[in-house]
Amino acid sequence: MSSKQVAMVIDLNKCIGCQTCTVACKTQWTSGEGQEGMWWNTVATAPGKGTPKNWENMGGGFRNGKAQPGKLPKQTEFGDPWEFNFEEALFSGDQHATLGPVGEEPDWGTNWDEDIGAGEYPNSYFFYIPRICNHCTKPACMEACPRGAIFKRDEDGIVLINEDHCRGFRFCQEACPYKEIYYNTVSGTAQKCIFCLPRVEEGVATACSRQCPGRVRFLGFLDDKDGPIYKLVHEHKVALPLHPEYETQPNVFYIPPLAPPSFDDEGNPVDDKRIPIDYLISLFGPEVRQSIEKIKAEREKRKRGEPSELMDVLISRNWLDMFGPFTNQPQDVAKTLEERARG
């Protein structure tokens, strides 16, 4: 266990599935050779098969403290990178040409099952679930690596892969129950989300958090009692880890989605339980009941005009309040670093 632990809380009630976080991460970190099909941040529709396809059935993690075998995810399950007909669609002068993937018809990709969800109209439902590496307190990847190439930083709990030691054996990919590790076939090494380490070290929030137009992602240290993470995870107990039964103790937490009303045969709203509670329990554990009830109660308080610290935190009127100690502006840090480099 690290002395300090950075963590993220993702409010699923605010995520609109715009993928801005995904693109922010992609442009920041995975534009290199062999990273074409890599998405260290994904946003999938739930219920759905996710990325990689059916990752929740691929094993790994722990059960009663014992390491569980996992399946090695294939690149096709993450989704092969597609080639696009940019030349034809944008520069050929053919006004009927449309932009699209070329080559073999793809049958899977990240966010492939977008907005499909589940349920029968008018009681169909879905919500978006952004995912990154969970920088677990008990990382199954780290425990699986025979070379000790994965480590957890004491100062912030960020889990990193030392690519100089990595030999591409990929036991980490199998062991991670969230299947958040990719294999770079060019470098022959495993790669994954680094929690924007170079930004965080300079007090700048992660790219996915800062770029989010929905103010969905909170950042901070788990033990910072004045920060949003502590309040949401420990004080109000409304933010929950995804699949706690994998026993890796993730440090990315979720505010569960409140459901819209169900409709009866006449089209009248009858309750607010359109998302089956059993499904939410399967994702976030039984604590999801209390979390939802707490959020609903606090919402009602605000409706009555009463104060609610929880609602204030979740609404996050002051954008930078979301980021705990990581409120530095990237442009200011860049300027400081340039000045430092110039001596």
Partner 1 sequence: MQSLNVANIGGYLDPASGEWRDVPGTTVEMVPAPLGLQPTDYIIASWQDRPYGEVESLLASSVHDGNRIAIRLDWASARPNTGAGEGFPDAAAIAFPVRGEPELMQMGSEDAPVHFLQWMARKNMVRSVLATGIGLSVTAPSIAETVAAGWSSGRWTVVFTREMSGTSDVSSLSPEKNSQIGFAIWNGANEERAGIKAVSPAWEDLILRA
Residue closer to partner 1, measured from CB, 136 or 238: 136
Min separation Cβ 78 and partner 1, Å: 10
- Name the segment binding partner 1 (CB under 8 A); options: 63-71, 87-95, 124-132, 261-269: 63-71
Quick check: 171 binds partner 1 (CB under 8 A)?
yes
Residue closer to partner 1, measured from CB, 74 or 303: 74
Backbone φ and ψ of 11, nearest 5°: -90, 105
Residue closer to partner 1, measured from CB, 145 or 255: 145
Q: Can you read off the two tokens belonging to residue 35?
A: 């990273």
CA dist 327 → 28, 71, 97, 228 (Å): 18, 39, 45, 13
Give the dihedral of Cα atoms 10, 12, 16, 21; nearest 10 deg.
Answer: 20
Size of the residue set binding partner 1 (CB under 8 A):
23
- Name the segment binding partner 1 (CB under 8 A); options: 170-178, 229-237, 282-290, 328-336: 170-178
Quick check: 139 binds partner 1 (CB under 8 A)?
no
Beta strands in the chain (DSSP E): 6-11, 42-46, 62-63, 66-67, 83-84, 101-102, 127-131, 150-152, 159-161, 182-184, 189-191, 217-221, 240-241, 252-255, 262-263, 269-271
Residue closer to partner 1, measured from CB, 146 or 307: 146
Angle, helices 288-303 vs 277-284, to 10°: value is: 120
Residue closer to partner 1, measured from CB, 2 or 75: 75
Quick check: 70 binds partner 1 (CB under 8 A)?
yes
Choosing from 140, 216, 295, 310, the residue that interacts with partner 1 (CB under 8 A) is 140
Q: Can you read off the two tokens belonging to residue 303?
A: 């409706």
- Name the segment binding partner 1 (CB under 8 A); options: 48-56, 86-94, 142-150, 312-320: 142-150
Contact residues toward partner 1 (CB under 8 A) are 66-70, 72, 74-75, 140, 143-148, 167, 169-171, 174-175, 183, 185
